[in-house]
């Protein structure tokens, strides 16, 4: 795409936070992960190759794209197939854009300087074959190391989701420390500053595990004040329920994008079964 056309397209696009808010209000707060694990491919009767990957991914889009506020392809499960897998991911992202389905590239990128700028260019630049509506980022080289991605996302009407408080046991050894103000709390503070004045919802989101329990309260973290979309993995197969999300996130629950992968994907390959699984999951998510 010529540079002037790319710039005009970026200017016409509403901020990611506004687009996500509209999708959540219209469809409900469900994000479906596209996680083509080898075991799931086998369960669907597909080969663990690029052809199986493409059939799996596009079937999920066709089945649940109109029922989810966003789809979240797990980048590593495409990368494991090399260039052929990346080509499938490019095709999936383009198909989602064509179908007006928001995407979150779950890449968890994080680096410094020109390398971070290159990651931003790959996932957030207008015209990039890997451009998604948003991408997950790791801030553990310092929040400001993400600046190239934060600035490019703002310039192109895209978004990011910054790892804030994850539910894996090892996360606490980094995220919970920091004296009077934990590392996780400082990340949330930085995201809140990024989103200041952005309505109806900021475009700089947070990843907070659905199964973190009382950690938010224990660490004194106010997610509601962050004005951030909250990507909450852990619904379904990992044990969290809609009521758990309401209890964990409190006043910020309205901004929670609840993520389910295996619970829905294991219903495939039949599209009607996938649709029914997504609808059951949505029914279990209380509306804010």
Number of C-beta neighbours around residue 170 at 10 A: 8
Would you state the structure tokens that stand for residue 29, as one six-digit string? 């707060």
Number of C-beta neighbours around residue 45 at 10 A: 10
Q: Is 91 a catalytic residue?
A: no
Cis-peptide, bond into residue 200, ω within 30° of zero: yes
Would you state the structure tokens that stand for residue 91, as one six-digit string? 């095709």
Q: Single out the catalytic residue among 72, 91, 108, 271.
A: 108
Residue carrying the six token digits 């889009």: 61
CA max distance for the chain: 53
Residues designated catalytic: 108
């Amino acid at each position: 795409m010529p540079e002037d056309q790319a710039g005009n397209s970026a200017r016409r696009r509403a901020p990611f936070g506004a687009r996500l808010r509209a999708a959540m209000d219209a469809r409900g707060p469900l994000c479906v992960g596209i996680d083509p694990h080898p075991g799931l491919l086998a369960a669907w009767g597909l080969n663990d190759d690029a052809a199986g990957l493409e059939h799996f991914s596009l079937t999920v889009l066709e089945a649940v794209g109109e029922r989810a506020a966003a789809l979240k392809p797990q980048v590593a499960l495409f990368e494991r197939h090399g260039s052929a897998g990346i080509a499938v991911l490019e095709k999936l992202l383009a198909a989602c854009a064509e179908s007006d389905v928001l995407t979150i590239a779950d890449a968890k990128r994080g680096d410094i300087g020109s390398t971070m700028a290159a990651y931003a260019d790959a996932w957030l630049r207008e015209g990039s074959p890997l451009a998604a509506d948003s991408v997950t980022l790791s801030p553990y080289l310092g929040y400001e190391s993400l600046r190239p991605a934060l600035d490019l996302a703002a310039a192109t009407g895209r978004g990011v989701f910054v790892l804030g408080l994850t539910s894996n046991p090892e996360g606490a050894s980094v995220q919970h420390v920091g004296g009077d103000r934990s590392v996780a709390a400082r990340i949330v503070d930085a995201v809140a500053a990024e989103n200041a004045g952005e309505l109806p919802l900021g475009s700089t989101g947070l990843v907070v595990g659905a199964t973190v329990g009382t950690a938010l309260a224990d660490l004194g973290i106010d997610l509601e004040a962050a004005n951030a979309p909250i990507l909450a993995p852990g619904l379904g197969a990992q044990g969290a329920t809609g009521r758990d999300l309401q209890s964990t996130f409190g006043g910020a629950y309205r901004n929670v994008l609840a993520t389910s992968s295996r619970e829905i994907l294991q219903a495939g390959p039949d599209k009607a079964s996938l649709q029914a699984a997504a609808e059951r999951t949505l029914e279990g998510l209380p509306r804010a």
